[in-house]
Amino acid sequence: MQNLRAAAGDGPAAGIKFSTVNTMAVLAQSDPPSAGAFRPEAAAQLQGILGFLSRTGAPFMVNPYPYFAYQSDPRPDTLAFCLFHPNAGRLDAGSKITYTNMFDAQVDAVKSALGRAGYGAVDIVVAETGWPTRGDPTEQGATVDNARAYVSNLVAHLRSGAGTPLMPGKPVDTYLFALYDEDLKPGPASERAFGLYHTDLTMAYDAGLTSSSPGSGGGSTATTPTTTPSKGSGWCVASAGATDAQLQTDLDYACSQVGVDCGAIQPGGACFQPNTVRAHAAYAMNQLYQAAGSHPWNCDFRQSATLTSTNPSKHAISPFNFNRSPLIFTFH
């Protein structure tokens, strides 16, 4: 990390933060959260790391997994505590705080450990957290319903901006694990099933993260509109509620992508008229949607676009050339 920081120099890359990820195993104790402390055998290394993070303003990155906490204590009340479901809460006798979910308890245990080590001002970033959709017969709780409940309720908790009891009102940057299942990964069956999507690109469950279905909260199943076309069909157009400012940003983004040719909406082009941001954005959005493979998630654009099964060119004031030819799209 020191070498990378030095290599970044004092130029445009000076603001890059360098850190490293830690598992919860670096803690000797995490229950109750106020007693959080690092393992003595890791103290020397952690002092060096924490000193570097403190000097450079970088965060301490950690991977809390309430799922594994439930595996070590598979009681119904523990499951509710891990899934953000209604529960009696757990009193931390040291801080006199009653915790209502395992995620906050684990993050605050790390916060306590940082303070005990003399680095309480170092920020925390959750580099990984998630819940598996399936597991071996001995892996209790590894189900689609529990995975949906954990992720959707976690997202709702983070969006609320409540923070944790030891960091109230301070959102914790959190990364979900994982986008896709890892079907070749060794170990228990759960290790291969943390994905929001399966390896065949089908959705494992809807956690309310897609633009077509708002977060359901409470772990209930979010519904997908029946008008959403399947892969390879339909058109991606601007949504009715999108503003010109949003659409201009999406237009600029779409036209900059590989496989998208916006020449037709330039002055003199076949689709320049009608000369409006909405019309031009619809053209560019659909170009990108078709180029990227015509998957529903390719028509996202931060909820300023939507899929339609009706060819918009039939209802436009002047002809739109919605190109449906197969194109190669390269992801970097």
The pLDDT tens digits of the residues spanning 138-175 come to 999 999 999 999 999 999 899 888 999 999 998 899 99
Give me the pLDDT at residue 212, please: 41
Q: In Å, how far from its chain's centre is CA 69? A: 21
Q: Please say if 128 is a catalytic residue.
A: yes
Catalytic residue from among 41, 170, 185, 231: 185
Q: What does the radius of gyration of the chain's CA atoms come to, in whole angstroms?
A: 24
Query: Do 228 and 296 touch, CB atoms closer than 8 A?
Result: yes
**Token couple for 17:** 């933060």
- Domain-wise residue ranges, the chain: 1-197, 235-308
Q: What stretches in the chain show pLDDT beneath 50?
A: 211-232, 314-332
Q: Which CATH number fits domain 1-197: 3.40.190.10, 3.30.70.60, 3.40.50.970, 3.20.20.80?
A: 3.20.20.80
Upstream peptide bond of 44 is cis (omega within 30 degrees of 0): no
Catalytic residue from among 96, 111, 139, 191: 191
Output the pTM of the full model.
0.65
Q: Please say if 41 is a catalytic residue.
A: no
How is the beta sheet containing 124-129 ordered, strand by strand?
Answer: 21-23, 60-63, 124-129, 174-176
Query: Do 112 and 33 touch, CB atoms closer than 8 A?
Result: yes
